[in-house]
Amino acid sequence: MKDPKIYGHWPYRDRPKVTWPGDKKLAFWVAPNIEYYELHPPKNPHRSPWARPNPDIVGYAYRDHGNRVGNWRLIEAMEKYNIPGTVSLSVAMCDHFPEMIDTVNELGWEFFSHGVYNTRYAYGMDRAQERQMLQYTIDRIKAQTGQQTRGYLAPALTHTIHTIELLAELGFTYSCDLFQDDQPQPLNVPGNPLVSMPYSLEVNDHYAFNVFGLSPQQYTDVLKRQFDTLLEEGGTSGTVMCIPIHAYLVGRSHRISPFEEILRYADEHKDDIWITKAGDIADHYLANHYDDARTHIAQFGGSDAA
């Protein structure tokens, strides 16, 4: 297979103008990953969950810090600037830490599915298994929070060739799994309309801290530059910026204060930006831009010619 053919080539230049509510230039959303990693995950034949044999208490405790400590610091910081989270949720958290899920649900945060555990990879699932897993997460989020799940980010970004079409089949409206764009765009799969929602690996705190070794302040500076560029470009046509984070990283005692700076920065720009949640961005896009975008994309041919 040369191309999964899930979206068409669509150059950034001269696209139909995207407008956001209130004529804001940038749709800004924050995605805390609230995750559960298992101490004794089953073996997936394609990827080992931990560097060491179970129980890998070093890796496990590193993530557990987010649920005991970091998330609570992060929730307080987000509340301080009145910025809602769109939670990338290991759905098992509904069982393991229901108080945390109920707390952020009451704050009006949105939840999207991030699989059951971040140690249950989709690699190797057949279509029926992946569909069953996805349906389970939809049902469990609904039961815990009353919310209808609209979005997906595969657990640990583990996909199958069926993932995207299953999302459309099951009524998801957005996928955070793809990294080709700074604007939403229609995905070319049968079923309900589905958009690709800009998330980001480049400004993901995992890459910032554990791959690039950035200091807390450097990460904030990276986020500000990302923000400034996308806000400027949003003057031409509305852009999206996501800050994808993990409380076990930004919620550490040496990082939470510098991280707060980017939340304050967003708050200071609230006349120009739409501080929102991913599901609302998808809804607005589907209602106002989706059809025009499909028509526009069609003229470029390329990989969209399924």
Partner 1 sequence: MPLDPNFLRYPMLRKGMDHDLYPAANMFEQPKVSWPEGKSVALMVTVAVEFFPLTPNDGPFRAAGHMATPFPDFRTFTARDYGNRIAIYRIMDALTAASIPATAFVSSALIDRTPKLLQDIQSAGWEIAAHGEDMNNIHYGDMPLDVEQRQIEACLAAWSDYGVTPKGWMSPGRGQSEDTLSLLKRAGIEWTADWGNDDMPYAMNDGPVAMPYTDEMEDRKCITILGQNEEVWSQQVTGAADLLAKEAQSHGGRILHLALTPYIIGQPFRIKFLRDLLTELAERDDLWCATASDIYASWQDQIA
Coil vs helix vs strand at 195: strand
Which residue of 4, 64, 265, 292 would you call a contact of partner 1, by CB under 8 A? 64
The answer to whether 106 contacts partner 1 (rule: CB under 8 A) is no
User: Residue 166 or residue 286: which is nearer to partner 1 going by CB?
Assistant: 166
277 contacts 104 by C-beta, under 8 angstroms = no
Q: At residue 51, what are phi and psi to the nearest 5 degrees?
A: -70, -30
The answer to whether 268 contacts partner 1 (rule: CB under 8 A) is no
Which residue of 146, 213, 271, 299 would you call a contact of partner 1, by CB under 8 A? 213
Point out which span in 6-14, 33-41, 192-200, 281-289 binds partner 1 (CB under 8 A).
Answer: 33-41
User: Residue 85 or residue 216: which is nearer to partner 1 going by CB?
Assistant: 216
The answer to whether 306 contacts partner 1 (rule: CB under 8 A) is no
Q: Which residues contact 14 (CB under 8 A, 6 or more apart)?
A: none
The answer to whether 302 contacts partner 1 (rule: CB under 8 A) is no
Which residue of 68, 80, 142, 225 would you call a contact of partner 1, by CB under 8 A? 68
- Please give the sequence-ordered ranges of beta strands (E in DSSP) within the chain, or none if there are none: 26-34, 86-89, 110-113, 151-152, 174-175, 185-186, 195-196, 239-246, 273-275
d(C-alpha 62, C-alpha 69), whole Å: 11
The answer to whether 4 contacts partner 1 (rule: CB under 8 A) is no
Q: C-beta of 295: minimal distance to partner 1 in Å?
A: 39
DSSP type of residue 85:
B
Q: At residue 8, what are phi and psi to the nearest 5 degrees?
A: -95, 160
d(C-alpha 147, C-alpha 12), whole Å: 34
Coil vs helix vs strand at 283: helix
- Pairing label, strands 195-196, 185-186: antiparallel
User: Residue 72 or residue 81: which is nearer to partner 1 going by CB?
Assistant: 72
CA-wise closest residue to 76 among 93, 92, 98, 100: 100
Which residue of 15, 19, 61, 233 would you call a contact of partner 1, by CB under 8 A? 61
Point out which span in 9-17, 19-27, 52-60, 273-281 binds partner 1 (CB under 8 A).
Answer: 52-60
User: Residue 197 or residue 256: which is nearer to partner 1 going by CB?
Assistant: 256
Which residue of 57, 161, 201, 298 would you call a contact of partner 1, by CB under 8 A? 57
Tokens representing residue 246 in the block: 């993990």
CA-wise closest residue to 245 among 232, 258, 234, 233: 258
70 contacts 251 by C-beta, under 8 angstroms = yes
Coil vs helix vs strand at 86: strand
The answer to whether 54 contacts partner 1 (rule: CB under 8 A) is yes
User: Residue 256 or residue 278: which is nearer to partner 1 going by CB?
Assistant: 256
Which residue of 7, 109, 111, 117 would you call a contact of partner 1, by CB under 8 A? 117
User: Residue 135 or residue 229: which is nearer to partner 1 going by CB?
Assistant: 135
The answer to whether 215 contacts partner 1 (rule: CB under 8 A) is yes
User: Residue 81 or residue 97: which is nearer to partner 1 going by CB?
Assistant: 97
Q: Which residues bind partner 1 (CB under 8 A)?
A: 36, 38-40, 42, 44-45, 51-58, 60-62, 64-65, 67-69, 72, 92, 95-100, 116-117, 120, 124-126, 128-129, 132-133, 209-210, 213, 215-218, 252-258
